[in-house]
Amino acid sequence: MPFYLKESDYLPQVAELESILIVPCRFCPAASLAVRENKPYIEPFRRLLRTESYETFIETLRRRLEDGGIRTAVFDSKLLHQFVACMWTANRRSELANRAAEFDGVLVLGCEAMVQAVGESIAATDCQVIRGMEIEGLMNVLPRVSLPLTLSLELQGIAPVTAAKKPPA
């Protein structure tokens, strides 16, 4: 089940930065936006493995930041095995570290596991990690397939998520 994510209030953190690398996961955030906007999740004949509502969200985010004078780029890939960011390979994480070194901040569009993975991947850089999304819960979805091979997700409910607490030392 994918996480149901919403945009966080990251603007105060990016206000002083000159450049931001946007690092999107293509799974939970895309599913969240497709469900929220009641749009298809995957339309392989139109967009391959891209979700229209998520791509629009990323492009709008870029324009908003660039209108504020911040240089942006998107850390992107068309490869299927790099689709779910919290499961990236060591090579992909190394590529991220090299690319992030060119920016003041990295805006992570994904869950807490992705924020942690990105932070660990770029620890050797001076780049600031910024959480771009927050978890609202786990989505219970019902997949719907329609012609021509379009996958939509019907939201059945959102289960709350509680963070695991470490026992006091």
Of 116, 112, 119, 118, which Cα lies nearest the Cα of 134? 112
pLDDT > 70? residue 6: yes
Mean pLDDT of 117-131: 94
pLDDT > 70? residue 168: no
pLDDT > 80? residue 71: yes
Identify the pLDDT of residue 139. Answer: 92
Start-end of H helices in the chain = 11-14, 28-36, 44-47, 52-67, 90-100, 112-121
**Burial status of residue 18 (CB atoms within 10 A of its CB: 0-12, 13-18, 19 or more):** exposed
Q: Is the dihedral of CA 111, 113, 114, 120 positive or negative?
A: positive
Mean of pLDDT over the chain: 89
Identify the pLDDT of residue 35. Answer: 94
Terminus-to-terminus CA distance in the chain, angstroms? 33
